[in-house]
Structure 1
Amino acid sequence: MHNMNNLRGIDLNLLVVLDALLAERHVSRTASRLNMSQPAVSHALARLRQLFDDPLLIRRDGQLVPSVRAHEIAPALTEALRQMREVLGPGGFDPAKEKRTFHIMMSDYASAVILPDLLKMLRLEAPGINLAVTQSSREGMLRQVLDGDCDLALGVFPDRPERIEVEQLFVEDYACIADREGLGSDGCLDMESYLARPHMLVAMSAEVNTEIEMALHAIGHTRRIAVTLPHWGNAPRLIEGTDLVLTIARKALSFQEHNPVLAVFEPPFSIPPFSYVQAWHERRGSDPAHLWLRKAIAEVSMSV
Structure 2
Amino acid sequence: MPPRTSRKLLPALGLAPFAAYVLLFLAVPTVLAIASGFFGQQGFTLARLSELASPTTLAAFWASVWVSALTALLGAVIGAVLCWALAALPEGGPLRRAVDSASSVLAQFGGVMLAFAFIATIGIQGVVTVFLRDRLGIDIFADGVWLYELPGLILPFLYFQIPLMVITFLPAVSALKPDWAEAVATLGGSSAAYWFRVGLPVLAPAFLGSLLLLFANAFSAYATAAALISQGAQIVPLQIRAALIGETGAGDTGSAGVLALGMIVVMTVVMLAYGRLMARAARWQR
Greater fraction strand: 1
Instruction: Kindly indicate whether structure 1 or structure 2 has the higher relative contact order, using CA contacts under 8 Å at least 6 residues apart.
Output: 2
Which TM bucket (shorter chain)?
under 0.3
Greater fraction helix: 2
TM-score (normalised: structure 2)? 0.23
TM-score (normalised: structure 1)? 0.22
